[in-house]
Structure formats: structure tokens, C-alpha cells
Structure 1
Amino acid sequence: MFKKILIANRGEIACRVAATARRLGVKTVAVYSDADAQARHVRACDEAVHVGGPAPRDSYLQWQRILEAARKTGAEAVHPGYGFLSENEEFAQACADAGLVFIGPPPSAIRAMGLKAESKRLMEQAGVPLVPGYHGADQDPALLRREAARIGYPVLIKASAGGGGKGMRAVHRDEEFDAALASCKREAISSFGDDAVLIERYVQRPRHIEIQVFGDSHGDCVYLFERDCSVQRRHQKVLEEAPAPGMTPERRAEMGAAAVAAARAVGYQGAGTVEFIAEQDGRFYFMEMNTRLQVEHPVTEAITGLDLVEWQLRVAAGEPLPLRQQDLRIHGHAIEARICAENPDGGFLPATGRLSVARWPAHDAFRPADVRIDSGVGEGDEISPYYDSMIAKLIVHGDTREQALARLDAALRDTHIVGLHTNVAFLRRCAATDSFTGADLDTALIERERAVLFDQPGLPVAQAAAAVVAHTLAEEGLTESADPWSRRDGWRLFGAAQRRFELEIHGEHQTVLLARHHQGSQSLTVAGQTVNLSLRSDGAEQHELYLDGQRVQVRTYKVGEQVAVFGADGSALVTEVDVLAHAGQGTGEGGRLSAPMPGKLIAFLAQPGDSVSKGQPLAVMEAMKMEHTITAPRDGVVDELLFAVGDQVGDGAELLRLRAQA
């Protein structure tokens, strides 16, 4: 086994590798950018080396600096994590040339599987089923359009060198093809440095099922069963589970054998994932192979009881696989939810900002358990625009899928994040849909369940208002004097007291009245309704409310003028309106379009003087590895462009101006 390894990555995967290495007695070296100087993965390792600026191209993609860091610290091996350099053939070869062990497959396997067109050819030779499509080297747009017509719409355009949903577009009509191809190529060249694409038939109601494989240097290769990753947005996974619902032992063995054949075809070593598109009738087709550990590997660990990072280290050190195929077993069911800084109701727009509050359910970290949290950030940390928007992975395990679903709901209910938009409430709704609970799975599940997933009301207004009242009274009670004449709760010798709260709940202003009657009872009036109210608080955060006798438990966290409320029925971010403090404030002028987040401006789709319609695309930005289109909020004429293509723009920066049509 190695004495010291360098982890050429950041975030939760770097923390995950460090945790396993520590358990094995292996020292670790972290690398970090300017943005990550105080990051959790830096603290998790024994040593740390600075490698450059905050943008990945200036730090984590500078593999020469990473190799120099390994040399200076005496590391014997490099673990690439996932993302960044994990599937970079040149980096893997450079590690070998420098006398370092690359903890991953050989460069030849990365090369063979890195180009989708080449990998399809190899899989065809190995007898692995393929989706009908075009995988040729000729990238003439006219030829690609003809091939799409030959295959038959709908088709899927995919970056040949890519993965993770980047550089991928579904095209349903011929007239959409050119714009989709241009967008794919822009995103592909930005993410992978290669704009080549392939075209495949877009399978209707497909399931995304992947097989975890592991190979060693002694010629053995096994599959560690399957994961269903069908629940996706923007071709990126949202919920993953293992084993796949409805999978028969016969189909599992067939898919496992195909995955092992794919791995053997390229002389694979280490952890890899063979991804398949599956029809509803069970037929399956090779999609791609990710030559690295996957984000969703914890669900495989949960059902097998294995540490896949430990397997990676042992195989890279020359040891044989710890188990043979006949020794592997499935135990129970596991589900992973990717908790991301994003706004699902805003088209899953990534969010940046500070994690003012980050509270998790009772859990183990980086180890198989009933509830597990893998995260590279904590309370007080910043989510920057430079890296992926994922905050954490929440993994649950149960004896049955039903038990795992119940544990997932409870764990998401007890996950409280304040300071920026997250998808926690969306994940909880998604896992509770009829489609997911009934295992009616395909990659269009989110679109099919839109009515119950988006623009939902959240915590009932009365509960949210009562929670803020409880929070305020609890805070005041913690600092009150015993002297009744100094109290601020409206105490008086005779009669009732009434207190007024001006709140904004779910975007609407609410005047809330708390009445305290002389006999000691209380009532709350909100949204035109009056309910009897009694409160019991444990500090300023934990409260037990009784609304007309109905018991409700909530937790509250105050950040500035806002109180975040979390309960069994959802959450709410409530603003306490200080009328005097905000007197005289008015609305800003209209007709502007601003950047929804920090990022790079990569295209203007209209020029000064152009007449545009509401909803028309006007600009394209790139942030957090994805393209985002800014559309016109109303009809008008483009008056002025305020940036140049290629500029980095800040959050809220005005990009262009619209004026009303004459």
C-alpha cells in the first residue's frame, strides 16, 4: 500500500478519499486554488499545496503544477477524484512518466473510451448492444443534419469527448437542428477542448441504468451490480438508486456481462462505470463508459457494504480485487439525492453565496449507513461560481425500497440550508411523486411530474407566521428581565394586548396580529383567519406550535431580516418588514436584463436596433460549467449592449438595455 498520495481534486470527493486513506494509514496531500484556501478538503488532508487562481483552468487543470506538488511532497500516487483531470489521458500518461501511480485506468483505456465515436466502434466489435446513430469523424454541419434525418427525429446530439450532460441536446424537429448543434459545439469546446459530436436516435421513455465495474492488473474484472439514474434535469442526475427497480436476476447478469466485456475490450483497471440506455421492455444499449469513480458510487457501497475508494487504492497498488464475482451480494436498497445550490423554479439556475446555515440529519460521513452525508462544504462556507453547484450528497439505505424512501423523506425534511437557493424541497417532492414511489422511471420523469414539482406553495402561511412569532418571542425571552415593567411582550394589569408583525411570506405581504388575552390565551390573525395559538420553544430555533389544537414542530434560523422556517409540511423564507427602515424605497426602472449569476458572456443573440419579442433569447452566459440563456422580459427594441462577448460579468450586472417600441 502507498505511504502518501496526492488528491488532484477538491470538494466532497477529495474529503472522501482523504477519509478512506486515513483509515488505511495512508497520508494525503491536497491541492487548492485561491478560492479554496480555507476549504474543507484542505483541512481534511495532512498537507496542502497551492496550485493557482480560482478558475479551474488556472489551478485544478494545471496538471504540471499538480505533478510538481506531488514531487515536492513525496507522494507516490495521484488520485484524480472525478471531474477535472480524472479522464485526461495526457495527465494519466504524465503521471506514469513522472514515476507516479495514477489511481485509475491506464491511459490507453481513457483514450479508447474518451471519444464516444471510437468507444462505440470498440463496443460494436465486443458485441455490446448500441443505439442506432452516426459516430463518424466527418463533422460537416450539413452532413450531420442529413445523418439526423436518416436516423429519424427525435435525435440526441452529444459531445464526443464529453460527459456529465454537457454538450448534449435533444432535437425534435429538423428546423431546430442547426441552433442545437451550434450550442452543443460551444459547450463542448469550452468544457472539453473538442467540439466533435455524435448523433444517436433519441430513445423514447428511456431509463438510464449504469453498471459499476472494477478491474485489476491481474486480469480479473467484476461488476458490482447496477444503479438506476433515470431522474435527471438538463441530462444531469438528480436521484440515483441501487439496485434498479424491476431488474430481474437474468437481466442483471446480462447487463453485467456486457459491462465487463466493455471493460475487458480496453484492458480496464480500477473503478469504472458503463452506462446504458434501457427501453421500458428491458432492451438496453451502450451509451458511454466513465473511466473514473462516479458521484453516485455511495449507493453501490451501501448495498454491497464495500469501500470503493479502498478498492481503488488496493488495485492501484498492484493488489488483486478483494472479492470475486461469485462473492458479491446485494443487501437492501439505497437512494442518493444530490443537494445542489440551484433554483428549480428558475430553470435550475445555479446559485452562489454563503451557507449561512447548513444543518444535517443525524448521519455518518463517507461510510455506509442508514443515513450518510458526503460533503466538501459546511456552515459558513461559500458556494462560488467557479465550480460545480453540488453542496452535498445525501445517501440513505434500507432493507427495502419502501424503507429507503421513508428514510430519504425524513432526512430531506431535516436538511436545513439557508443563505442561497437549493433544491432540497424539490428533491423531497420528486421522491414523493407517484412516478418515483411507484418506480415508473424514465429520464422524462421530472417533466412528466411538473404539476407537483414546480412552483409549490411550501409551508402553509399560518404555520410560517406562527413560527416567526415564536422565534421572535423566544429571542426576546432569552434576554428579558424578570421585572414585568421591562418586558416587551405586552404584559399589562388588565385587558388584552395586541402585537403587530409585518411579514413577507411566499412573496406576499402579510399583516400578522398576535393577541394576548387577560386569561392567558393567545390568538393569531393572518391572511384573514384567526386561530388559537400556544407556543413552546426550546431556545430560539426549535418550537412546538399548537394552531387550533393541531401540533406542529418547526425549526427557525434568523439571517439578517429573514427567518427561515422548516417544518414537516415544507419550508418558508420569511422577511420581517421594518416599515420605517424601508420607507421611501421604490421599485427600480424596467427594461434591463441582468446576469443571474457571475459568469462569462459567450454570445449576444440580438444587436442594437433589433426588435425583440417577450421570451426571445438575447444572450448566452456560461457559469458552473453550463450554458444559460437570457430571454427578453417583454417586447421592445435593443437599445445598447453593455459588455463584449468573452467578458466575465458579475452577479446582477446589467448586460443590455431594452426600450419600448415606438
Structure 2
Amino acid sequence: MFNKILIANRGEIAVRIIRAARELGVGTVAIYSTSDRDALHVHLADEAICVGPARSTESYLNMNNILSAAVATGAQAIHPGFGFLSENSKFARLCEEMNIKFIGPSAKVMDMMGDKINARAEMIKAGVPVTPGSEGEVHTTDEAVKIAEEIGYPIMLKASAGGGGKGIRKVNNVEELVPAFEAAQAEAQAAFGNGAMFIERMIFPARHIEVQILGDSQGNVIHLGERDCSLQRNNQKVLEESPSAAIGHTLRNEITAAAVKAAQHVSYENAGTIEFLLDESSGKFYFMEMNTRVQVEHPVTEFVSGVDIVKEQIRVANGNELSVKQEDVTFSGHAIECRINAENPKFNFAPSPGKITNLFLPSGGVGLRVDSAMYSGYSIPPYYDSMIAKVIVHGENRFEALMKMQRALLEFDVEGVITNVDFQLELISDPHVVAGDYDTSFLGNVFLPEYQKED
């Protein structure tokens, strides 16, 4: 096993990785920017090293400084977490060249699956269903108009190198296409340095279903069930649960088998997620994209499967076989995760950085977990993601999980900054959500208009 790994991230995921490594007897190195000098992950790691100023481009995205920190501290591997450099194939390749193990898939696989156009082509080869769409990159509005006419409206414009909801637009008709294409392309160029787009028919209404997979270097690939991530705002997830209330036994077997087939086709190693759109009216599902990293919502899968995904990532990167086989994986109960952010839902979810003057995280009872890097007196910097904590609950059934989440959110107390706790509490209590009757349009089209009208 590795003696020491460097965590190329910050916040709650850095804390999560440090805890997993410590339980495996592996030493840890935290990196931090000047604004994160007092961050929890810095205090918890065995060693910590500053890699640059507050701006992400000069610190958490600074490949040279991060690799230099790994060499200086003798770290044998780097865990990128999610976001930042986690899906950057150049960084993974640099790690390989410097004989530092990147805890994730190979750069080759990241190139193959991180680019949405390449990923679609590979999934077609693997026999995994994909939505009708463009066969290659789309660079001009003229190309976009022609392709949209061929596949039919409504369509989705997506950045080929995209992620995190950037460079995505829904287009209902030809009148909307040109301005939407130009805006999405500009956003993609600014966010990823790549303005290439692709087009696919929009499956609407739909469920956003993703399957957690794990693979090792011996060719073993397993799945850990599915998560329902349909409650989204601007293509960004707000609440996740596992299993999905929209999927029965037969469909579950089909969609998880397709995910395993997809991962096997590209000889996938480490943790990853295959994302699908499910058309509930027809029961058909379509490949959307693959995330070649650990997901924010991985704890709900850990609760229902009993498998520690981050520990498996470290073991697999060390060359070990997966500690479980598919036949060993059993699923129990229901899990839900709510993302608690420093933001104002009543003011278009504007970020709310500042000093946390008091913090009480919910606790007590079986099946409650809070992943956080916050503490009383900590000042949330304005430079990064606004997440305060993830509240994850597990119950014997979905109703018990819903009630446990309501209880946990009622206990959550943060002073000094505005949060979305009350928003999440109303969402988890909404009759449609309680009934499991929602899709990707529900939050934006049904829930938010009513919520934001309230005083």
C-alpha cells in the first residue's frame, strides 16, 4: 500500500479522502491556497503545503506547483477528488510521466470518455443506447441549424469538453438556436478553453439516472447500483437518492448491465459514473456522459451498498483487486443526500461567503452522516464552491429516509452566512418529492416558481 498520498483538492472532499486514507494507514499531504490556510483539511492532514494564491488557476489548478509539492513531500500518489484537475487528462499524463500514481483512470481513458463526442462514439461501439445527435464536433451556427433539422426539436446543445452545467442550452425551435449556440459556445470557450459543441435530441421529460461503477487493473468491473439525480437547477444537482423510485427490478438490471458494459468496453479502472437519461413514458434509457472521477453524491451509494468508494479508489490505484465481487454486493434500504450551500435561494441562489459565527451539524441516531469541512469561526472564502456540507441519511425504506432527512435539516443551524437549509427542507417535504413524482424539469418549472413567490 502507498505510504503517502497527496490530495489535490480542498473542502469536504479533501477531508473525506484524508479520513479514508488514515483508516487504511496511509499518510496524507494537503495542499492549500493562501486563502485556505486555516481550512479543516489543512489541519487534518499529516502534512500541508501551500501551492499558490487564492485564485484557483494559481493554486488548485496549478499543475506544476501541485506536482512539485508531491515530489517535495515524497507522495507516491495524487487523489484529485472532484472538480479542479479530477478530469484533466493532461494532469493525469504528467503524473504518469513523473511516476506518481494518479488515483483515477488513465489519461487515455479520460480523453476517450471525458470528451462527449468521443464518448458517444465509444458507447455506440459498445452497444449502449445513445440519444440521436451529431456525429462529430459542431463549430458553426450553420452546421447546428442543419443538424437540428435532421434530428428534430427540442434539442440540447452541449460543450464537447463540458461539465458542471457549463456550455449547455436547451433549444425548442430554430428561432432560439443561433443565440443559444453562440452563448453556449462562448461559455464553453471561457470555461474549458474549447468551444467545440455537439447536439443531441432532448429527452423530455426525463429522469437523470447514474450508475456507480468500479474497475481494477485485473479487468474486474462491478456496479454499485443507481442514483436518481433528477432534482437539478440549471443542470446542477441539488438532491440525490438511491435507489431510484422510478425504476423497477427489470429496468434496474438493464441499466446497470449497460453501465458495466460501457466500463468494460473502455477497460475502465478506478471509480466512475455512467449517466443516463430515462424516458419514463417509454421505459427507454440513453447514455448521456461518463464522469471519470468520484462524484459529490457518492455517499448515498456507500450507504445502500456498504462499499467505501474512496478506499476502493486508493486500493485499486495501488494495484489491488477490488475487495468485492458483483455477487458480494447487496443493497439495503434507501439513502438521500442534500447539498447545503452558503447561498441565498430567495435571491437567485447568490453566493453568501463570510464568517461562520456558529455551527451545529445534525447528529445522533443510526443512518445519518454529515460530510463537511466547516467549523465555528471559519470564514468561507469567495473564490470557490459555496458548499458547507452534505447531509446524507439512510433508512430501511424511502419514507424512513425522507423523515430522517427532515429531522436532520431541522437540526442544522448555521449563523453568520445565508444558507439553503430551509429551501432543502421545503423541497424534501414537497408532496411530489415525497411521492417520488418528479423529473429533471420539476425543480425549475414547478417547485422554484412557487418557492420564490413566498415571502
With structure 2 as the length reference, what TM-score do the two structures score? 0.97
* 1:223-279, Cα deviation, whole Å (9 max, x unpaired): 000000000001000110001113222211111111111111211100000000001
Please say if residues 430 and 453 of structure 1, whose CA atoms lie closer than 8 Å, have aligned partners that are also in contact: no
Give the aligned partner of residue 174 of structure 2. Answer: 174
Q: 2: distance between equivalents of 1:111 and 1:451?
A: 39
Q: CA deviation at 1:349?
A: 2.3
Please say if residues 108 and 266 of structure 1, whose CA atoms lie closer than 8 Å, have aligned partners that are also in contact: no
Q: CA deviation at 1:137?
A: 2.4
Normalized per residue, the structure richer in helix is 2
* 1:125-160, Cα deviation, whole Å (9 max, x unpaired): 100001111141241221112222332222111111
Q: 1: distance between equivalents of 2:318 and 2:252?
A: 30
Give the aligned partner of residue 351 of structure 2. Answer: 350
* 1:80-138, Cα deviation, whole Å (9 max, x unpaired): 10111111111111111111111100111100011101110110010000111114124
| SS of corresponding position for 2:18 | helix
- Alignment RMSD (CA, Å): 1.4
Is residue 386 of structure 1 aligned with residue 383 of structure 2?
yes
| SS of corresponding position for 1:134 | coil
Q: 2: distance between equivalents of 1:151 and 1:133?
A: 7
Is residue 418 of structure 1 aligned with residue 415 of structure 2?
yes
Please say if residues 137 and 160 of structure 2, whose CA atoms lie closer than 8 Å, have aligned partners that are also in contact: no
Q: CA deviation at 1:184?
A: 1.4
Give the aligned partner of residue 336 of structure 1. Answer: 337
Please say if residues 33 and 50 of structure 2, whose CA atoms lie closer than 8 Å, have aligned partners that are also in contact: yes
Give the aligned partner of residue 262 of structure 2. Answer: 262
Question: What is the one-letter code of the residue matched to 1:418?
Answer: E
Q: 2: distance between equivalents of 1:417 and 1:151?
A: 49
| SS of corresponding position for 2:213 | strand
Q: Could you tell which deviates more after superposition, 299-308 or 144-153?
A: 144-153
Please say if residues 138 and 198 of structure 2, whose CA atoms lie closer than 8 Å, have aligned partners that are also in contact: no
Question: What is the one-letter code of the residue matched to 1:395?
Answer: I
Give the aligned partner of residue 396 of structure 1. Answer: 393
| SS of corresponding position for 1:163 | coil
Question: What is the one-letter code of the residue matched to 1:454?
Answer: Q
Q: 2: distance between equivalents of 1:445 and 1:358?
A: 31
Aligned partner (choices 447, 451, 454) of residue 453 of structure 1 = 451
Q: 2: distance between equivalents of 1:410 and 1:137?
A: 48
| SS of corresponding position for 1:288 | strand
Give the aligned partner of residue 122 of structure 2. Answer: 122
Question: What is the one-letter code of the residue matched to 1:289?
Answer: M
Q: CA deviation at 1:283?
A: 1.1
Question: What is the one-letter code of the residue matched to 2:372?
Answer: S
| SS of corresponding position for 2:210 | strand
Give the aligned partner of residue 322 of structure 1. Answer: 323
Q: 1: distance between equivalents of 2:382 and 2:195?
A: 23
Q: CA deviation at 1:421?
A: 2.3
| SS of corresponding position for 2:228 | strand
Please say if residues 426 and 454 of structure 1, whose CA atoms lie closer than 8 Å, have aligned partners that are also in contact: no
Question: What does 1:6-17 correspond to in 2, within 5 Å?
Answer: 6-17=6-17
| SS of corresponding position for 2:277 | strand
| SS of corresponding position for 2:156 | strand
Please say if residues 138 and 197 of structure 2, whose CA atoms lie closer than 8 Å, have aligned partners that are also in contact: no
Give the aligned partner of residue 112 of structure 1. Answer: 112
Q: 2: distance between equivalents of 1:342 and 1:199?
A: 32
Question: What does 1:62-461 correspond to in 2, within 5 Å?
Answer: 62-281=62-281, 282-362=283-363, 370-446=367-443, 447-450=445-448, 452-457=450-455
Question: What does 1:617-632 correspond to in 2, within 5 Å?
Answer: none
Give the aligned partner of residue 523 of structure 1. Answer: none
Q: CA deviation at 1:200?
A: 1.2
Instruction: Provide closer, same or farther for how the CA distance between residues 24 and 275 of structure 1 changes in structure 2, counting only shifts above 3 A.
Output: same
Q: 2: distance between equivalents of 1:353 and 1:135?
A: 46
Question: What does 1:538-557 correspond to in 2, within 5 Å?
Answer: none
Q: 1: distance between equivalents of 2:169 and 2:222?
A: 33
Q: 1: distance between equivalents of 2:427 and 2:177?
A: 31
Question: What is the one-letter code of the residue matched to 1:429?
Answer: E
Which structure's relative contact order is higher, taking Cα pairs within 8 Å and 6+ residues apart? 2
Q: 2: distance between equivalents of 1:284 and 1:26?
A: 40
Instruction: Provide closer, same or farther for how the CA distance between residues 389 and 363 of structure 1 changes in structure 2, counting only shifts above 3 A.
Output: farther
The percentage of aligned residue pairs carrying the same residue is 47
User: Any stretches of 5+ residues in structure 1 without a counterpart?
Assistant: 458-662
Instruction: Provide closer, same or farther for how the CA distance between residues 451 and 83 of structure 1 changes in structure 2, counting only shifts above 3 A.
Output: closer
Q: CA deviation at 1:363?
A: 5.1
Q: 2: distance between equivalents of 1:269 and 1:96?
A: 15
Question: What is the one-letter code of the residue matched to 1:309?
Answer: V
* 1:600-647, Cα deviation, whole Å (9 max, x unpaired): xxxxxxxxxxxxxxxxxxxxxxxxxxxxxxxxxxxxxxxxxxxxxxxx
| SS of corresponding position for 1:133 | coil
Q: CA deviation at 1:64?
A: 1.2
Question: What is the one-letter code of the residue matched to 2:119?
Answer: S
Give the aligned partner of residue 38 of structure 2. Answer: 38
Q: 1: distance between equivalents of 2:321 and 2:354?
A: 45
Q: 2: distance between equivalents of 1:52 and 1:173?
A: 46
Question: What is the one-letter code of the residue matched to 1:26?
Answer: V
Question: What is the one-letter code of the residue matched to 2:405?
Answer: L
Q: 2: distance between equivalents of 1:145 and 1:337?
A: 39
Question: What is the one-letter code of the residue matched to 2:424?
Answer: L
Please say if residues 131 and 201 of structure 1, whose CA atoms lie closer than 8 Å, have aligned partners that are also in contact: yes
* 1:273-306, Cα deviation, whole Å (9 max, x unpaired): 0000001132100000000000000000011112
Give the aligned partner of residue 622 of structure 1. Answer: none
| SS of corresponding position for 2:375 | coil
Q: 2: distance between equivalents of 1:251 and 1:171?
A: 29
Q: 1: distance between equivalents of 2:424 and 2:347?
A: 15
Q: 2: distance between equivalents of 1:433 and 1:217?
A: 44
Instruction: Provide closer, same or farther for how the CA distance between residues 160 and 245 of structure 1 changes in structure 2, counting only shifts above 3 A.
Output: same
User: Any stretches of 5+ residues in structure 2 without a counterpart?
Assistant: none
Instruction: Provide closer, same or farther for how the CA distance between residues 451 and 158 of structure 1 changes in structure 2, counting only shifts above 3 A.
Output: closer
Question: What is the one-letter code of the residue matched to 1:172?
Answer: N
Q: CA deviation at 1:355?
A: 1.9
Q: Could you tell which deviates more after superposition, 371-380 or 208-217?
A: 371-380
Please say if residues 241 and 336 of structure 1, whose CA atoms lie closer than 8 Å, have aligned partners that are also in contact: yes
Q: CA deviation at 1:452?
A: 4.4
Larger Rg: 1
Q: 2: distance between equivalents of 1:298 and 1:137?
A: 35
Q: 1: distance between equivalents of 2:198 and 2:354?
A: 37
Q: 2: distance between equivalents of 1:112 and 1:83?
A: 18
Q: CA deviation at 1:348?
A: 2.0
Normalized per residue, the structure richer in strand is 1
* 1:159-190, Cα deviation, whole Å (9 max, x unpaired): 11111211111122322222222221222122
Please say if residues 231 and 442 of structure 2, whose CA atoms lie closer than 8 Å, have aligned partners that are also in contact: yes
Give the aligned partner of residue 23 of structure 1. Answer: 23
